[in-house]
Structure 1
């Protein structure tokens, strides 16, 4: 893969991570990779394995085509919460609903 392609991949990942309001360290933890390695991916100085690509795309709820080529994904105009929920499995939505209910009950 060419250096320019690696930088484009890194820019797409950085943009999405920033939209999610996550630090590199926070996202790396979610994806179960080291923060240093994730930082190298974001700046385009290293390539990632298929396993790492799967971890990243699963954690960010992004299609692999978008991460690799910038296609196959169009962010919605709705709130980031709705966008995240739209990309969740039924199980993830149920868990998110339970967490939100617990949070709201605690706040009141």
Structure 2
């Protein structure tokens, strides 16, 4: 993989992490990878394994092809929410439902 491709991937990771309002430390924890390694991925000084790509894709709710190629960017409509929910475990779905209920009650 070329250096510029690593930098571009790192930029997409950093952009998504920022959108999610997470620190590098929290993102690494959610993806179950080392914080130093995650930092290297963000600045484009390290390559990731397929296992790490899968972990980041799940933790960030991003398609793998978006992380690697910048293609298949997540949509901003309700189907993007459905995509995220489709990747959740039963426990995560229950938690998401509770958070959504609280959010909607606050809006009223």
TM-score range, shorter chain: 0.7 to 0.9
Q: Give the corresponding residue for 1:57.
A: 57
Displacement of 1:26 = 0.5
Unpaired runs of at least 5, structure 2? none
Q: CA RMSD in A?
A: 2.4
CA 1:83–1:42 in 2, change beyond 3 Å: closer, same or farther? farther
Unpaired runs of at least 5, structure 1? none
CA contact (8 A) 1:30 1:59 kept: yes
How high is the TM-score relative to the length of structure 2? 0.80
Are 1:95 and 2:95 an aligned pair?
yes
How high is the TM-score relative to the length of structure 1? 0.80
CA contact (8 A) 1:62 1:73 kept: yes
Tell me the matched-pair count.
101
Out of 54-63 and 89-98, give the one that drifted further.
89-98
Deviation sequence 1:32-64 (CA, Å, 0-9, x none): 000000000000000000000000000011100
CA contact (8 A) 2:31 2:55 kept: yes
The structure 1 residue matched to 2:81, chosen from 72, 85, 100, is: 85
